[in-house]
C-alpha cells in the first residue's frame, strides 16, 4: 500500500511534457524560443526594407553611380558632399552680397535670411533646403498654436463644452484622407482661370475683379501647400495634445485655483511643463515629416514650380534620380535629409529638456560624492 501511494504521488507530480532527467521541454515558453519566432518576421522585414536601404543610400552617396548603369559606379569618397556644400556656400555668399544695402552696410542676420528665402537665381540645392523649411514653418506654427488652443478648450472644466468627442472626430477627419487625393482636389480647385476658385471669388462673392491664374503665382503656391499640410495634420496634433492634457492630475489645477491662479498662469506653470514630453514628440515627428515632404508639392508641380517655389528636398532628390540620372548625387541628398532631421531633433531635445529633473539628478550625484568622501575620511564603509 505504501509503495502504491508513493508511486501515485510521483506520477501526479510529473508535469505533462516534462521528461525526468532531461529538464524542460525543448520548445518550452520559459526558454523564449517562441518569443524569438514571433519577433523574427519584424526583424527580417526591418533588416531588408529599412536598415539595408539606409546602408545602401550611404554607400551610393560615396560613388558616381548613374541611374542608367547602377552597377558601374566608382568610389569617389566625399566628392559629392564637397560639391554639394561648396555650391551652397557660393549661393549663401551671393545672398549676402545681394542683402547689402545701397550704402554698402553689412546686412543683419534676419535680412540675410529673408534674402535667402526670397532668391530666384541661386543654387537649386539651397533653394530646396530653404523651401522645405519655409513650407514646414508656415504649416507647423499655426498648426501647433491652433491645436493647443482647441485642446485647452476641449479639456477646460470651466467651459464644459458639449459633444467634445464629435468635434474631435470631425477635426481629425482630414488626417484620414490620402494626401494624393487632397492634393488633386485642391489643384483642380485652383487649376486655371475657369476653375471653381475663380468662379467663386469673381462671380459669386465678387472678391476679385478678374480671374487669376493661381498656379502661376509663385507666392501663392507655397502658401497653398502649407495650408493643405496644416489642414491635414492639425487634427492629429489636437488628438495627441488632448491625450497629454487628460493625463495631467486635476488636483494640480484645483490647488492652483484655490491659490488664486488665473487661466494663463495655470497654462504656463502646469499645462506646458507637464506637456513637455508630448511637445517634444510632436515637434520631432512633424519635423521629420516636413523634411520628407513630397506628395502634395509634387502634385502641384513635379519640377518644383516656375521659380522652384515648391521645390522640397525630396522633390530635388527625385529629380536627380529620374531626370538627372545621377544616383550618387540623389543618395547624397537623402543622407543630407537624414543629417538635417537628426541635428534639428537633437536641438529640440536640448531646448525642451526638463531642467528641473536634470538639476535634481546633478544635486543627487554631488550628494553621493560628498557622502562617499565623508565616509572615506572617517574610515567607514560606504
Rounded to an integer, what distance in angstroms lies between the CA atom of residue 113 and that of residue 134? Answer: 11
pLDDT at 77: 92
- How confident is the model over 209-231, as pLDDT tens digits? 889 889 888 889 999 999 999 99
Residue 130 confidence (pLDDT) above 70: yes
Is 57 among the domain residues?
Answer: no
Is 318 among the domain residues?
Answer: yes
Is 169 among the domain residues?
Answer: yes
Is 168 among the domain residues?
Answer: yes
pLDDT at 305: 85
- How confident is the model over 219-276, as pLDDT tens digits? 899 999 999 999 999 999 999 999 899 888 888 888 888 888 888 888 888 898 889 9
- How confident is the model over 47-67, as pLDDT tens digits? 999 899 999 999 999 999 998
Share of the chain above pLDDT 70, in %: 84
Rounded to an integer, what distance in angstroms lies between the CA atom of residue 291 and that of residue 94? Answer: 25
- How confident is the model over 138-183, as pLDDT tens digits? 999 999 999 999 998 888 777 677 888 888 888 898 888 888 889 8
What totals of helices (H) and strands (E) does the chain contain, helices first? 18, 0
pLDDT band at residue 357, thresholds of 50, 70 and 90?
Answer: low
- Residue 252's nearest CA partner among 272, 229, 277 is 272
Rounded to an integer, what distance in angstroms lies between the CA atom of residue 219 and that of residue 198? Answer: 17
pLDDT band at residue 291, thresholds of 50, 70 and 90?
Answer: very high
Bridge partner residues of 19 (DSSP): 23
As given in the structure block, the three cell numbers for residue 190 are: 485652383
Secondary structure class of 75 (helix, strand, coil):
strand
Is 42 among the domain residues?
Answer: no
Contacts of 54 (CB under 8 A, 6+ apart): 338
Residue recorded with cell 509634387: 298
Is 10 among the domain residues?
Answer: no
Average pLDDT over residues 174-197: 89
Is 2 among the domain residues?
Answer: no
The total of structural domains in the chain comes to 1
Rounded to an integer, what distance in angstroms lies between the CA atom of residue 96 and that of residue 110? Answer: 11
Is 65 among the domain residues?
Answer: no
Residue 12 confidence (pLDDT) above 50: no
Average pLDDT over the chain reads 83
The domain that holds 286 is classified in CATH as: 1.10.3720.10
Domain boundaries, position 279: 79-353
Rounded to an integer, what distance in angstroms lies between the CA atom of residue 143 and that of residue 134? Answer: 14
Amino acid at each position: 500500500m505504501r509503495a502504491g501511494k508513493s508511486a501515485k504521488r510521483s506520477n501526479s507530480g510529473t508535469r505533462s511534457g516534462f521528461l525526468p532527467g532531461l529538464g524542460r521541454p525543448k520548445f518550452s515558453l520559459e526558454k523564449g524560443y517562441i518569443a524569438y519566432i514571433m519577433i523574427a518576421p519584424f526583424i527580417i522585414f526591418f533588416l531588408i526594407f529599412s536598415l539595408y536601404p539606409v546602408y545602401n543610400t550611404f554607400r551610393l552617396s560615396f560613388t558616381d553611380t548613374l541611374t542608367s548603369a547602377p552597377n558601374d559606379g566608382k568610389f569617389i569618397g566625399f566628392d559629392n558632399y564637397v560639391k554639394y556644400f561648396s555650391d551652397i556656400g557660393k549661393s549663401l555668399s551671393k545672398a549676402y552680397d545681394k542683402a547689402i544695402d545701397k550704402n554698402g552696410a553689412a546686412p543683419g542676420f534676419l535680412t540675410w535670411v529673408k534674402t535667402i528665402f526670397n532668391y530666384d537665381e541661386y543654387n537649386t540645392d539651397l533653394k530646396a533646403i530653404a523651401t522645405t523649411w519655409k513650407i514646414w514653418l508656415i504649416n507647423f506654427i499655426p498648426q501647433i498654436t491652433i491645436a493647443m488652443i482647441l485642446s485647452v478648450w476641449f479639456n477646460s472644466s470651466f467651459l464644459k463644452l458639449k459633444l467634445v468627442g464629435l468635434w474631435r472626430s470631425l477635426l481629425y477627419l482630414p488626417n484620414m484622407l490620402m494626401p494624393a487625393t487632397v492634393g488633386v482636389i485642391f489643384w483642380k480647385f485652383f487649376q486655371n482661370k475657369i476653375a471653381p476658385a475663380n468662379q467663386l471669388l469673381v462671380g459669386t462673392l465678387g472678391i476679385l475683379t478678374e480671374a487669376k491664374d493661381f498656379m502661376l503665382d509663385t507666392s501663392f503656391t507655397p502658401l497653398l501647400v502649407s495650408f493643405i499640410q496644416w489642414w491635414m495634420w492639425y487634427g492629429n496634433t489636437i488628438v495627441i495634445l488632448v491625450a497629454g492634457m487628460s493625463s495631467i492630475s486635476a488636483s494640480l489645477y484645483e490647488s492652483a485655483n484655490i491659490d488664486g491662479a488665473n487661466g494663463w498662469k495655470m497654462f504656463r506653470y502646469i499645462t506646458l511643463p507637464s506637456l513637455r514630453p508630448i511637445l517634444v514628440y510632436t515637434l520631432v515627428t512633424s519635423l521629420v515629416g516636413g523634411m520628407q515632404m513630397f506628395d502634395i508639392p509634387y502634385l502641384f508641380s513635379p519640377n518644383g514650380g516656375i521659380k522652384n517655389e515648391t521645390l522640397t528636398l525630396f522633390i530635388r532628390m527625385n529629380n536627380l534620380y529620374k531626370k538627372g540620372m545621377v544616383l550618387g548625387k540623389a543618395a547624397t541628398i537623402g543622407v543630407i535629409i537624414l543629417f538635417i532631421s537628426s541635428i534639428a531633433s537633437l536641438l529640440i531635445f536640448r531646448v525642451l529638456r526638463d531642467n528641473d529633473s536634470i538639476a535634481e539628478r546633478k544635486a543627487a550625484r554631488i550628494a553621493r560624492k560628498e557622502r562617499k568622501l565623508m565616509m572615506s575620511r572617517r574610515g567607514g564603509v560606504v
